[in-house]
Amino acid sequence: MVLKRFTLVPVLLMLAGCNITVLNPKSATGKDQAFLIWFSFGLMLIVLLVVFFLFFRFVATYRYTDKKANFIPEDVHGNKWLELTWTILPILLLIVLAVPTVAITYNQSPISEVLKKDEAVQIEVEAQQYQWTFTHEGGKTSNQALVIPEGKTIRLQLKSKDVIHSFWVPALGGKVDVMPHKDLYYEIKNPEVGTYHGKCAEYCGLEHAKMIFTAKVVTEEAYEQYVKE
């Protein structure tokens, strides 16, 4: 027990250095994901509090004392209401958790075909060992930076030249597997101006760690200019 308490210290110190951008989202897509994290965390916290409350109450109420040395509890055969409670409550909790999870997951899942024409800004993202190539509208390409306009729906056409990679910009959205022989379209909605880190989130070979890039969200005018340059 003592050992456990002390091993926790370096772990907490390590976490203190983490910049958890997933919890500081800068796009509608990222915000939905962060909402799911906090929502499930909140539900878990409620369960945890109830369990701990009951645990300590029972420990306090039913602890052994000299007075109870010869106490033999009454035999009971189940309790219909208690059993119904601990069956129905978890089912309700799971339903409450499932509704937003399914809605957001379906809403964000990548699609293999775009059927409708819309206003989305389309950018081709090609992954290969060990770099990304972003082809913006009008044919402008870059290996270092994905440049996108703020406040729009950005539709990324994800392609892989070789193995499975995973596209991830923690502050904006992802992770989405990038598959060879199968293009996927993934949308990032309503990004906010800023420069964010992007990476490959699927181990893809010896130099996988070098598969990083920057995602720059710029104003619409700056984007128009970047594409024309």
- Residue 204 in the binding site for Cu ion (CB under 5 A): yes
- Residue 169 in the binding site for Cu ion (CB under 5 A): no
User: Which amino acid is present at 207?
Assistant: E
Q: Are 125 and 161 in contact (CB under 8 A)?
A: no
**Packing angle of the helix pair 80-108, 28-61 (nearest 10 deg):** 160
Q: Cβ 60 to Cu ion, closest distance in Å?
A: 54
Among the residue ranges 24-32, 39-47, 109-117, 206-214, the one whose residues contact Cu ion (CB under 5 A): 206-214
Contacting residue, 200, 215, 217, 218, with Cu ion by CB under 5 A: 200
As a whole number of angstroms, the distance between CA 125 and CA 147 comes to 11
The site that binds Cu ion (CB under 5 A) totals a number of residues, namely 4
Among the residue ranges 2-10, 15-23, 151-159, 195-203, the one whose residues contact Cu ion (CB under 5 A): 195-203
Residue 36 has a CB neighbour count (10 Å cut-off) of: 17
Among the residue ranges 12-20, 138-146, 208-216, 217-225, the one whose residues contact Cu ion (CB under 5 A): 208-216
Contacting residue, 28, 121, 179, 211, with Cu ion by CB under 5 A: 211
Among the residue ranges 34-42, 46-54, 71-79, 160-168, the one whose residues contact Cu ion (CB under 5 A): 160-168
- Residue 136 in the binding site for Cu ion (CB under 5 A): no
Q: Cβ 143 to Cu ion, closest distance in Å?
A: 14
Look up tokens 């598969």; give the residue.
Answer: 211
Contacting residue, 26, 159, 165, 199, with Cu ion by CB under 5 A: 165
Q: Cβ 199 to Cu ion, closest distance in Å?
A: 8
Pairing between strand 165-169 and 153-160?
unpaired
Q: Cβ 10 to Cu ion, closest distance in Å?
A: 30
Q: Are 130 and 162 in contact (CB under 8 A)?
A: no
Radius of gyration of the chain (CA): 25
Nearer to Cu ion, 121 or 204 (CB): 204
To which H or E segment does residue 101 belong? helix 80-108
Token digits of residue 91 = 């089912």
Query: What count of residues does the chain have?
Result: 229
